[in-house]
Amino acid sequence: MSKQIKLTIDNRTINATEGANLLQVAKDNNIPIPHLCYHKKLSPTGACRLCIVKIKGQRGMIASCAVNVSDGMEVVAFDEELEEARKYLLDYLLSEHDETYDGTYTDEFRELIFKYGLDKKENRRFPSIWKELGYPKDETSPVLSYDAAKCIKCFRCIKACDEVQGKNVLSFTNRGIISYIIGGFDKWGESECDGCGECIQLCPTGAIVEKLHRTEINVENGIREVRTTCPYCGVGCQLDLLVQDGKIVRSNGAEGVSPNDGRLCVKGRFGYDYVQHPDRLTTPLIKKDGQFVEASWDEALDLVAQKFTEIKEKYGRKALAGYASAKTTNEDNYLFMKLVRLVFGNNNVDYCTRLCHASTVTAMLRSLGDGAGSNSIEDYETSDCILVTGNNMIETHPVTATFVKYAAQRNGGKIIIIDPKWTPLVKDAHIWLQPKLGTDVALLNGMIRVIIEEDLIDREFISKRVDGGMEAFEELRALVQKYTPGYTEEITGVPAHLMEEAARIYARAERPLIATGMGYSQQVTGTHNVFCLINMMLISGQIGRVGAGLNPPRGQNNVQGVSDVGASPFTYPGYISVEDDENRRRVAEIWGVPYEELDGEKGLSTVEIMQAAYDGNIKGMYIMGENPMLTDPNLNHTEEAIKKLDFLVVQDIFHTETTPFADVILPATAFAESEGTYVNSDRRVLRVRKAVDPPGQVRQDWEIVMEIAKRMGKPLGNYQNESEIWDEIAKAAPIFAGISFKRLEHHGIQWPCPHKDHPGTATLFEERFNTPSGLGKLHPVDYAEQSEKADAEYPFILNTGRILYQYHSSTMSRRNKALTDFANEAYVLVHPEDAAKHGFADGQKVTITSRRGKIENIAVQISTEVLPGELFMPFHYSEAPVNKLTRDELDPYSKIAPFKLSAVNVV
């Protein structure tokens, strides 16, 4: 434990931790020593010199940001000499500074100018010379403006980019008084800057300011700040939305709060304008004679209730199904799930997890008893080995990636990447293993064999914490014997020596974390891939302690929460099987219904629901916040299935590729118009708060669900607000039992949280796994070739995925100019050898065909990011619906489709 010491500042006794930063100690104790270059997230610079103090026994004035406190230290923070020196320093800085102010940013420098009376020119010693210095402006970035005449050379932006975000894009050019900041080699817009805005948030002047809404915002007049959770990926970044005149005008990262501590990515900081976009759905729509016409809520809801009731009475309760949504709150999804189970009368409820991490969750549930990440996001920062498998983290979970990069760049951690496609994190990786698509089981079995052969296993862990102990281990040993380094290299294409080194580094590490993504899960063998990861983890004892475990970063803001609250065909809230009679009785009692009303059979998963619609067994569907006509596999088949439905309801914030097929469209709230909760990737329950009013007649999702249930004759309850819905969730799901809105007011809580005095659980499995026996289970699996292979007709294997600037089916992200200015066109990556062989030119438009469909006018990008014979495309773009090419063959365990491996031809 850190030693506590005492010091005095201006004769005031202060308790502090030995070695703490003196300036931060003063700030923590409300002693306002002036400063501009210091920020608690950055290493001290000592550039502005305003934080000078006097320390007994030391000569002169000393920058307090560069001093560590010690016991008995006596500090003078304020006296006449110090204040005069600060005024002199500020006056000098001001002479080189354009002091005009437009009210569009918070200016720490300006505040000090006023504090020391330097706003009055008669109090200044130095003439203003900034105009003579010829400082440039840079407007080339899509999201920020840089004005060198307002820069005080404090280094905060440079250090924010380097030390916090790990990007190191910014630096000074020129020397001395005429130096200024540049992005890359010159212009911001020509650099590798990805628009995260960390430099904006930490700039103490108006040198770097957001472009968005700059002509509208006035930070000194009528600004309201609302703390909420980001609506994009599963990191769960905490945002402070700035609202003016009922409109969101800025988004800042919330400092000092987990999981992001002020960090944001470009979407979190600049991706909010979709909320106030004119394309928003604002009134219910009913299709009449093939055209959508506006309707009242009563008319639309009555029609929905009537049609669903008619289908249920005519075809039976299993003829209805629902898609829940990873974009909406836990409260919305809980009541949606409750409607399907109670009102429809079946378990045909699923959502996009079946298309992303279902195989990860399935393998983890079977092996460990829990399908969620075992550690906290901030644990990456101190990890000595981070194994990233099939996860383009920098683009899909950018803030998590900042912690990973910090480990490698600052703490000596080693990153191992397993991915057939180059990702930006490769630049920080110690080893990059680039297997051929679909060969992951062979690669991991090869690594397991190395760990066994070199006696890097943890026998004590296996004996005490693995089901079957050493006997089960011997079964795994026997299976992997044939995966010699040479044999593994033959299958995967990964050099044997790199595979061996990666295995050794992982097995020997003290704090190794695995981050596994959709590259592993979105395969027919997805569950087997994750079984192999878990096998390797269990035999080396690398789980069940702080900083060691398995963590699937979730792709959408509430993917974790929707599963947690039971929007699954297989489980009730808290991951308890729908086939468990005892739990079904418990849930029925909470819901106040007879036990017999709850279906005891598993329902259909996402792709199975579409197949049942195609077969004529599902007649009616209710889709909330999902867009299957862009995100489902084998889209031509999906379209045929949807067209066969008797009745389709789509509830969303915009028209999507799915809404044209609807009979009724219901307008719902966006994140900033909603109250409730999300659960992020590290099981952290986080509050969502309303910042602005919804447009038109828009209603919150849960209110719409409640109305439909009531009109179908089965009211779901008498909830007055979202807090009451959450309280019922906490009763239904034991993992949430101790969490309430009151406890979430200032910070999130990680489940499991079994009672109201429990702090939450940062690390899972420290004492036992969540299986019935409390033991982890090995699942030895063999490599099997993929059923879809390249051949003469379809010579390429296509991989699909996500990019930084777009999100899911891009209904939200493409309605933000800040994001589309960075990336707004579909493309296909082609290796240079393939381009030369087939005569493709960079930028050329091509047609891509698979056994299931084709897409046209796709721009070629020639790139070494992919292997010869392999291609990559993002799936976000409606004009390039890549899922027309993918197949709907399913992983037999998780029911996931293989989005990552499709044989195609390119013409």
Q: Residues 331-382: pLDDT tens digits?
A: 999 999 999 999 999 999 998 777 667 888 889 999 999 989 999 999 999 9
Task: State how far the Cα of 626 lies from the Cα of 613, in Å rounded to an integer.
Answer: 17
Residue 898 has pLDDT above 90, yes or no: no
- Please list the helix, strand and coil fractions of the chain in percent, rounded to the nearest 5, in that order: 35, 20, 45
pLDDT of residue 519: 79
Q: CA 172, 174, 178: angle at the middle one, nearest 5?
A: 100
Residues 176-185 have pLDDT tens digits of 899 999 999 9
Strands 291-294 and 285-288, how do they pair? antiparallel
> Which residue did the predictor score with more confidence, 1 or 730?
730
Q: Are 332 and 705 in contact (CB under 8 A)?
A: yes
Tell me the pLDDT band of 259, cut-offs 50, 70 and 90. very high
Q: CA 504, 508, 512: angle at the middle one, nearest 5?
A: 105
Mean pLDDT of all residues in 283-288: 98
Mean pLDDT of all residues in 897-903: 87
Residue 610 has pLDDT above 90, yes or no: yes
pLDDT of residue 97: 94
Strands 414-418 and 385-389, how do they pair? parallel
**Helix or strand run (H / E) with residue 832:** helix 832-838
Which distant-in-sequence residues (6+ apart) come within 8 Å of 876 by Cβ? 802, 803, 806, 807, 808, 809, 810, 813, 814, 826
Output phi, psi for 146, to 5 deg. Answer: -120, 125
Q: Are 417 and 426 in contact (CB under 8 A)?
A: yes
What tokens appear for 876 in the block? 């976000």
Starting at the earlier edge strand, list the strands of the sheet with 144-147. Answer: 137-138, 144-147, 208-210
pLDDT of residue 1: 62
Among residues 508, 523, 449, 433, the alpha carbon closest in space to that of 482 is found at 449
Output phi, psi for 761, to 5 deg. Answer: -120, 110
* Rg, Å, the chain Cα set: 29
Among residues 891, 785, 783, 901, the alpha carbon closest in space to that of 446 is found at 783
Mean pLDDT of all residues in 190-207: 97
Q: What percent of the chain has pLDDT over 90?
A: 93
Among residues 511, 529, 513, the alpha carbon closest in space to that of 521 is found at 529
Residue 279 has pLDDT above 80, yes or no: yes
Task: State how far the Cα of 322 lies from the Cα of 314, in Å rounded to an integer.
Answer: 18
Q: Are 453 and 533 in contact (CB under 8 A)?
A: no
Among residues 475, 370, 825, 850, the alpha carbon closest in space to that of 637 is found at 850
pLDDT of residue 889: 83
704 three-state secondary structure? helix
Residue 324 has pLDDT above 80, yes or no: yes
CB atoms within 10 A of CB 300: 24
Residues 687-714 have pLDDT tens digits of 999 999 999 999 999 999 999 999 999 9
What tokens appear for 316 in the block? 């039976």
pLDDT of residue 555: 84
DSSP secondary structure string for all residues of 765-799 = -SS--SSTTS-B----------SS---SSS-EEEE
pLDDT of residue 888: 84
Among residues 375, 447, 373, 380, the alpha carbon closest in space to that of 413 is found at 380
Mean pLDDT of all residues in 833-858: 96
Which pTM value belongs to this model?
Answer: 0.95
Intra-chain end-to-end CA distance of the chain, in Å: 65
pLDDT of residue 892: 81
CB atoms within 10 A of CB 103: 11
Which distant-in-sequence residues (6+ apart) come within 8 Å of 380 by Cβ? 386, 400, 403, 404, 406, 407, 513, 515
Residue 741 has pLDDT above 90, yes or no: yes
Strands 170-173 and 180-183, how do they pair? antiparallel
Mean pLDDT of all residues in 220-227: 93
CA 721 vs. chain centroid, Å, equals 27
Mean pLDDT of all residues in 228-239: 97
Task: State how far the Cα of 412 lies from the Cα of 417, in Å rounded to an integer.
Answer: 16
Which distant-in-sequence residues (6+ apart) come within 8 Å of 44 by Cβ? 21, 23, 38, 63, 65, 66
CB atoms within 10 A of CB 30: 6
Residues 633-663 have pLDDT tens digits of 889 999 999 999 999 999 999 999 999 999 9
Torsion of CA 419, 421, 425, 426, to 10 degrees: 90
Residues 551-594 have pLDDT tens digits of 999 889 999 999 999 999 999 999 989 999 999 999 999 999 99
Residue 2 has pLDDT above 90, yes or no: no
Kindly provide the residue ranges of all beta strands, DSSP E only, lying in 143-259, ordered along the sequence.
Answer: 144-147, 170-173, 180-183, 208-210, 224-229, 238-244, 247-253
Query: What distance separates the 2 farthest-apart alpha carbons in the chain?
Result: 91
Task: State how far the Cα of 275 lies from the Cα of 654, in Å rounded to an integer.
Answer: 10
Q: What percent of the chain has pLDDT over 70?
A: 100
Q: Are 559 and 352 in contact (CB under 8 A)?
A: yes
pLDDT of residue 567: 95
Q: Which amino acid is at 504?
A: R
Tell me the pLDDT band of 222, cut-offs 50, 70 and 90. confident
pLDDT of residue 523: 83
* Inter-axis angle of helices 297-315 and 701-711, nearest 10: 60
Residue 40 has pLDDT above 70, yes or no: yes
Task: State how far the Cα of 682 lies from the Cα of 376, in Å rounded to an integer.
Answer: 5
Q: Are 543 and 535 in contact (CB under 8 A)?
A: no
222-229's contacts with Cβ under 8 Å and 24+ in sequence apart are 223/249, 224/691, 226/672, 226/689, 226/690, 226/691, 227/254, 227/687, 227/689, 228/671, 228/672, 228/687, 228/688, 228/689, 228/691, 229/557, 229/671, 229/678, 229/680, 229/686, 229/687, 229/688
Mean pLDDT of all residues in 893-905: 86
The sign of the CA dihedral 60, 65, 70, 71 is positive
Residue 50 has pLDDT above 80, yes or no: yes
Tell me the pLDDT of the chain averaged across its residues.
95
Least confident of 96-110, 152-166, 823-837, 878-892: 878-892
Torsion of CA 753, 757, 762, 763, to 10 degrees: -70
